[in-house]
Structure 1
Amino acid sequence: MRIIHTSDWHLGHQLLGQSRQFEHQHFLNWLLQQIKQHQIQLLIIAGDVFDTGTPASYARTMYHDFLVKVAALGSCQVIVTGGNHDSVAMLHESKSLLTAFNAYVVGGIEADELPVRPIYNDEQLLAVVCAVPYLRPRDLVRSEAGQSIEQKQQQLAEQISQYYKSCYQHAQTLAQDSQAAIIGCGHFTLVGGQVSESVRELYIGTLDALHASLLPDFDYLAMGHLHKAQQIDGKPHLRYSGAPLPLSFSEADKPKSVTMVEFSGKQMTAHKQLQVPISQPLLSLTGSLEQIIAQIVQLQAEPTPERPTWLEVNITQQQYLSDLVERINSHLDDHYFKLLRVKRIQQVNKQVLNTKQLSLDELSEAQIFEARLQLEALSDEQQQSLKQAFKALQLQLAEQQ
């Protein structure tokens, strides 16, 4: 059995106001070819199919068109699980219809049904998938008055662990004495996972990461949420596929891929990263204004590209220049570059926070909050409590978008 594991498509995403529609369509066309070429029998999409809970109509169309084209191949089944960016209700709108196209969609967990799906080839049972989506705290536990943060974290970790164990036990029942692989899905941070700039800090309640040891011993665990392709604890069967597109300039120079896994019965016999071709180049330049201009001039001496590169410029000099963007644009050839952002690299401290020259759009929400905390005389315990409350509020606001 051959599987492709992917996640974090973020259909409908915009990078600094620029649509990613062309890139996503290019990726989906490429992915369809990989399914055909490698004779894939199961495609797992481990969360964050869409960038928001209310994606643009074109993003929904791309999603449905792709699943219809996969079904037309006749040999590949699809598992889709919801992520923290996805709306459960929106994913479930077409859930029943998509079952006719061999696509099993789990936007969120339901009280009366465990998301466990057997995968057959004709009458042969190939695998049983525990298609666990992003777990929202309200689906698992209720807060109790007087609990400390540590108690809440422990309770939630235990509930997540128990939910996975229930799914795994049900999968074992379905597998019976066969050699079918038992595969898990998840969308959260495992301890040891490497986070990139574009990944929103994901808290399940107050829990920021979970130890893999709390999960059952899956033959393969298909994870989503972290945008960098990676394995956890050096174990190739515990894996994040990573996002197929760079979702921020911090990922511009990182290769993007999907994971192909081969099984012989329960045994994983091979795994490989299939590198996604770049359809929209991104480039981030850092230095003084003079250094940036010199790099731009040098790059524009090369052959003209098919598409202009989206450009981010980070200026390291602290001198305030009101016409900074105009100076850079005056050296840009539109056939080579499209300037999306210019920012100054600032050291965030009390003095910087108090300067009138600082623009808030040059700082992240976390940097602003951290700098504001420095202005107060607070104990370590008070600071930790406020940081936890801030992160929980960020998550609540993100889920309402």
Structure 2
Amino acid sequence: MKFIHTADWHLGNTMHDIDRTRETGAFLEWLKAEIETIGAQALVIAGDIFDVVNPSNIAKTQYYKFLASLLTTKCSNVIVVGGNHDSGTLLDAPAGILDALNIRVIGSINNRKVDDLVIELKDGEGHVIGICCAVPFMRNLELEQFYKGASSDEDLLKRLYADVYSHAVELRGNRNIPIIATGHLYAANLSGRDAEVAGENEVIPETSVDDGVREVVGTLGNVDVTTFPSELDYVALGHIHYTSMVAKNPKVRYSGSPFVMGFDEANCKRYVLTVDVAQGMVPVVEKIEVPKAVRFEQFKGDIETLKLKLRNLEKELVAKPMETYVDLLLTSGDFVSLNDALEAEESGKHFVVKRHRISRDVLRGVKGFDDCVESTKQYTKEDYFRMLIATNLQENDESEEVKNQYDKFISLFNEAVSKAHEA
């Protein structure tokens, strides 16, 4: 059985107020063409179809139009499971209609039984070619309600995967067909964030980045690979936005998101995975790079480095125009106003700078800032106001007049806050 594994579309996302409708539309057109080109028999979408629980009408229209467009292809199976950004109720609402089109949606486990999560996959002639254990994102409370009466120390997630696999084996009988599963969670022991840079087998620390991933806590927040029955022929995961294997296991993978979800992801290539799987065999997995419809860049350095990178970017875009957004971070040198210092490099160019930031190391050089950046300190509203003033004081300006003005500002600030609370 040959299928495409993808996840984390986040339709309707507006990262830093960027309208991404054209970008997501271009991806969906490309994905349909890839499905036709490789002859995929199934499409598996492992959660976070939408960015928010109440997506815009535009986002919902893109989703349904794409699903309808697959009816003209040889892709005879579509599996959609909910993610932590999705509303399970919203996804499940049209299930009756979509089921008739062989588009199976499992938005949540609420009001479902184990056998509801196990789905036969068929070819265009109706022959069963595989079985999918379609497991969506679940909160701990949903798992506890699913297994009412379970002991408090039982690993309910592991039990669920064991139960759906057991039911799939029973359903398979003596047929020589593969069994795959889905999940939307945070697995432990992931491979490198960028295989081209880190090496596919390099394990990286689990750090937080500006990637739009909402933290998953509880039993779903750090899942060991042993949670998934080892006899499963493939596990299609969602939630992590870069392509990765879990515990170096070629059968348990994240496809990653086809889109940049934060500027920290700007340099990561985006993929969907094609999976050729047979019962009891190591799956053949190929990464297909998603073409860029929009370019994102994150530049770091001192002010001269930032200027040079912006000039080089402009030259590239003059030669090859593309909608482009930039994030800038001043990491060394003297504190300056980036808006003023880079105005000539940004004005009237073929890119848009969406964010200017200054690192803590640079801010430490601003007089008055160190007084309120103790790592263990709980900041008060006065602390934040002090930082704001510190970044705008003239160098070496410690006159009595400035100190008096600061005290006056603090008094006015506290008065304004008190009035706001009273209102």
Q: TM-score, normalised by structure 2?
A: 0.77
Q: CA deviation at 1:265?
A: 4.4
CA contact (8 A) 1:133 1:186 kept: yes
Give 1:1-400 correspondences, 5 Å limit. Answer: 1-114=1-114, 115-121=117-123, 122-141=125-144, 154-155=153-154, 158-193=155-190, 197=209, 198-205=211-218, 208-217=221-230, 218-302=232-316, 304=318, 305-317=320-332, 319-321=334-336, 323-346=337-360, 351-352=372-373, 354=383, 356=385, 358=387
1:372 aligned partner: none
Q: Distance in 2 between matches of 1:120 and 1:301?
A: 51
Q: Distance in 2 between matches of 1:20 and 1:357?
A: 37
- Rg larger in 1 or in 2? 2
Q: Distance in 2 between matches of 1:252 and 1:214?
A: 32
Per residue, is there more strand in 1 or in 2?
Answer: 1
User: How large is the Cα RMSD of the aligned pairs?
Assistant: 2.3
- The one-letter code matched in structure 1 to 2:164 is C
CA contact (8 A) 2:43 2:75 kept: no
Instruction: Give the secondary-structure state (helix, strand or coil) at the position aligned to 2:325.
Output: strand
2:394 aligned partner: none
CA contact (8 A) 1:181 1:219 kept: yes
Q: Deviations over 1:259-292 (max 9, x none)?
A: 1011244434521001000110111111122221
- The one-letter code matched in structure 1 to 2:357 is K
Alpha-carbon spacing, 1:302–1:34, altered in 2? closer, same or farther (3 Å): closer
Alpha-carbon spacing, 1:2–1:330, altered in 2? closer, same or farther (3 Å): same
Q: CA deviation at 1:22?
A: 1.1
2:148 aligned partner: none
Q: CA deviation at 1:139?
A: 1.1
Q: Distance in 2 between matches of 1:250 and 1:44?
A: 26
CA contact (8 A) 2:251 2:283 kept: no
Which runs of 5 or more residues in structure 1 are unaligned? 143-150, 360-401
Alpha-carbon spacing, 1:219–1:302, altered in 2? closer, same or farther (3 Å): closer
Which runs of 5 or more residues in structure 2 are unaligned? 146-150, 194-205, 365-369, 374-378, 389-423
Q: Distance in 1 between matches of 2:317 and 2:12?
A: 31
CA contact (8 A) 1:188 1:223 kept: yes
Alpha-carbon spacing, 1:350–1:248, altered in 2? closer, same or farther (3 Å): farther
CA contact (8 A) 2:179 2:279 kept: no
Bigger drift between 160-169 and 297-306 goes to 297-306
Paired residues, number: 347
Q: TM-score, normalised by structure 1?
A: 0.81
